[in-house]
Structures are given as C-alpha cells and as structure tokens.
Amino acid sequence: MTDDELNDALDRAARWLRAAKSVCVLTGAGISAESGVPTFRASDGLWEGHRIEDVASPDGWDRNPALVWQFYNARRANVATVKPNPGHFALVALEDRFGDNFKLVTQNVDGLHLQAGSRRVLEIHGSLRQTRCTVCEAVANRGLEPLGDAPECPQCHGRLRPHIVWFGEGLPDDIWMEAMVSASECDALLVVGTSAVVHPAASLIPIARRKGATVIEVNITRTEASAYADIGLYGPSGEVLPKLLQRLE
Ligand code: APR
C-alpha cells in the first residue's frame, strides 16, 4: 500500500468511525509485535523452540506439565519486560471516545491492553497472569511472578494450570457470548494484527459483517480477514492506529 493509498483509506476509516455509535475491536498477536512479543504463525509451527501441541494443548499438558509450566513461566518472564506500544494506547483513546459503546475482544494473553489502560476488555483466550486449579477450578491472578514447574492451588493443593485456552479447548461461555453480542451489535469492527485463522475468534469477523458492521482491517499484510474488510489499513498497528485516532480528533 502506498502512502497515498494508506492516507485515503485512513480518511475513509475515520469517516466511518465518526458516524458509528458503537465500535468493537478484535486484536491478535500483531498488536503486541512492536512491543517485542513474538507472534505465533511467524515461527514455522514452533513456539520459542517448542512444538505448539507440546506446550499449548491438553495432550501436551497430560504428557508433561512441567514442560508446559517452563514454557509459560518463560512467556510470563518475557511479558514482564515489555510495555504497551502506541497501538495499544490508540485503542485506549478510542475507548474514551465511545465509552460503554466500545468493546475490545483480544486473543492475546499478554495483558498489554489492560496495562495500557483499556477497561472494556474481553480476554477470550485467557491471560498469562492467571492460573486455574485443575481440581477446584479456582481462578487466581498471580501477576507475573515465577511459579515453578509444579505450582499448587493455595486452597486445595490441586495442580494449577495456566488459565489459557489451548488448542482443542472451548472458550469460556460467558466471555464468548459477550464477544458475540458486541460483534453482532457494533456499527464498526476494527480487526487488528490477527491472521484470522483461529476459530471461533475469527468468526466474529463474518458475524459482524453479516449484521451490517463496517469492517476495518489493520495489519502489515492481507489475511483471511481481508475478504470481509470494507477498508484495509496495511501497515504496522503502532503507526497506523495513532494516525487513525488523530483523524478522529
Ligand atoms: N502490526 C499489525 N499487524 C502485525 C504486525 C504489526 N506490527 N506484526 C505482525 N502482524 C500481523 C501478522 O501479519 C499476522 O497476520 O499479526 C498477525 C499475527 O498472527 P498470528 O501469529 O496468527 O496471531 P493471532 O492471529 O493472534 O493468533 C490467534 O492462535 O496461537 C493461537 O491462541 C493463540 O490467540 C492466538 C491465536
């Protein structure tokens, strides 16, 4: 996309957003790329040297929970060193503009949207900061402290697992319903930094579109979402989103 094409697309996107009464945003790993959090599908099926099915699936957990915890403790330690980038902050400004008519649905587990100051956030794939007891199901926020290879529930001493939705697992019903309602009812859906290949998250895009929302894609490249996008803003989200917000002021 040339600079002129991007500027033209930004102008059109800003016009749609000015006319919109409600906005829903779906984010993926790309929005955190400029913060230094690696994306998933850039890495050849490997995730920091591990096969995804070994560290992010119920089977991998059953085979080797200590390996899973080593992997998640490393991700937690990495996230402790990074900061939200201008893309995250632009979405805070967008929320300020729309208030209760705004929802941010994120597939990311890095917590950077909350750290930036976004409040109406649905973390549909869970959070690196949270643990869940495999026995009593209690969910706890443990921040980013190291948890060791076999952390136990402080209440019942059951084995704790990361409170993350792994491949082959369903999304929490209540959070997913809220995400569906937001996507179905919004006037504009902003799709930022996701390859849009993981379902059901990606199905929010056709759902919003079918219900009449304008779909605006922000990504460094075209994706599975592009077929549904009325407007494509192709560039790094840390640059494109602040430019979009500037045009709304
Ligand atoms: N700005 C915008 N987009 C970017 C940037 C950037 N600076 N850098 C990368 N991207 C885009 C890539 O082009 C790609 O489309 O971000 C997207 C990242 O895609 P994935 O790595 O597939 O991440 P995501 O879509 O979030 O994956 C969904 O899959 O692995 C599971 O549960 C995990 O939540 C995750 C889900």
Return the exposure string of 176-187: e unless at least 16 CB atoms fall within 10 Å of the residue's CB, then b: bebbbebbbebb
pLDDT at residue number 45:
53
pLDDT per residue as tens digits for the range 11-20 = 999 999 999 9
Q: Is the pTM of this model over 0.85?
A: yes
**For residue range 35-44, what is the model confidence (pLDDT) as tens digits?**
998 887 766 5
Model pLDDT for residues 117-147, shown as the tens digit of each residue: 999 999 999 999 999 999 999 999 999 989 9
State how far Cα 128 lies from the chain centre. Answer: 12
Ligand 1 atom 28 nearest Cα: 198
Residue with the smallest CA separation from ligand 1 atom 36 is: 198
Enzyme catalytic residues: 125
Closest CA to 154 of 131, 176, 175: 131
Cα(188) to centroid(ligand 1), Å: 20
Mean pLDDT of 155-176: 96
Residues touching ligand 1 (Cβ under 6 Å) are: 28-30, 33-34, 39-41, 107, 125, 193-195, 198, 219-221, 223, 236-237
DSSP 3-state assignment of 177?
Answer: helix
| Beta strands, E only, the chain | 23-27, 46-47, 50-51, 102-106, 121-123, 126-133, 139-141, 160-164, 188-192, 214-219, 231-234
Q: Is 113 left (phi over 0), alpha (psi -120 to 50) or beta?
A: alpha
State the distance from the centre of ligand 1 to the C-alpha of 196, rounded, in angstroms.
8
3-state secondary structure 86-152: HHHHHHHHHHHHHHHHEEEEECCCCCHHHHHCCCCEEECCEEEEEEEECCCCCEEECCCCCCCCCCE
Q: How far is CA 129 from the centre of its chain?
A: 14
pLDDT, mean over the chain: 95
